[in-house]
Amino acid sequence: MNLDLKKMAGGLILFIGLFLFFSSLVDNNINLALVSLTSALIFWVIYNLLLDVFDVRLFAWVISLVGFVLALSVFFVFGIEELPHPIGAIVFHTSGIAGSLGLGLFSLFPLLIIHQLNSQNISIKPDVLVNEDSPATLQNLESDDWELASEEELTSGGFEVG
């Protein structure tokens, strides 16, 4: 199976899960919405593992984005209530706001881990390694047995400039 087709099928699993999530959310059925979203994520992970195209960075992004969508949903379902009288009045519930902020905070963790891994990969440079033989070579360079080369010796080609 082509790699692009594998990715598109995985994206289709996520899209169907999000569609079922939002359709259940419109019906004000948060439990069914959570079941559809969680099952879509589980099927997506199993699909990627079976086809050997699982990417941890993509998984972290998906988990974070789904967490933020869930946090917004909890905020609008449990954090805000519209009152019939007076017209247009809105009441904010602290329990729903606190729940949505907690979900948003926990949704940041995968992104922070990915950011930390990327910054560690940049700071570690394989070219700049400490060589254990360097003190021995420095001792040889500091000896008094050296003499300065003349310009004729440098241009003769018999010596290498070190």
Predicted pLDDT at 160 = 61
Residue-range domain boundaries for the chain: 1-54, 55-128
Q: Residue 89 forms beta bridges with which residues?
A: 83
Identify whether the C-beta of residue 148 lies closer than 8 Å to the C-beta of residue 159. no
Q: Calculate the CA 87 to chain-centre distance.
A: 44
Per-residue pLDDT, averaged over 148-160, amounts to 73
Cα-only R_g, the chain: 31
Whole-angstrom distance, CA of residue 9 vs CA of residue 16: 11
Q: Report DSSP letters for 99-119, one per residue.
A: HHHHHHHHHHHHHHHHHHHHH
Lowest mean per-residue pLDDT among 27-36, 118-127, 144-153 = 118-127
Per-residue pLDDT, averaged over 78-97, amounts to 89
pLDDT exceeds cutoff 60 at 140: no
Three-state secondary-structure class, residue 83: strand
Predicted pLDDT at 147 = 73
Longest dimension (CA), the chain: 102
For 43-75, how does the pLDDT look when each residue is reduced to its tens digit (9 = 90+)?
999 999 999 888 889 999 999 999 999 999 999
pTM above 0.85, yes or no: no
Strands 89-92, 80-83: pairing kind? antiparallel
CA quadruple 41, 43, 45, 47: dihedral sign? negative
Predicted pLDDT at 111 = 92
pLDDT averaged over the chain? 84
Per-residue pLDDT, averaged over 95-124, amounts to 89
Predicted pLDDT at 121 = 76
Predicted pLDDT at 159 = 62
Hey, what are 121's tokens? 């990969």
Whole-angstrom distance, CA of residue 75 vs CA of residue 46: 30
Q: Report DSSP letters for 7-19, one per residue.
A: HHHHHHHHHHHHH
H helix runs in 27-93, sequence order: 30-50, 56-74
Predicted pLDDT at 128 = 52
Predicted pLDDT at 126 = 56
Predicted pLDDT at 42 = 96
Please indicate whether residue 122 or residue 45 has the higher confidence score (pLDDT).
45
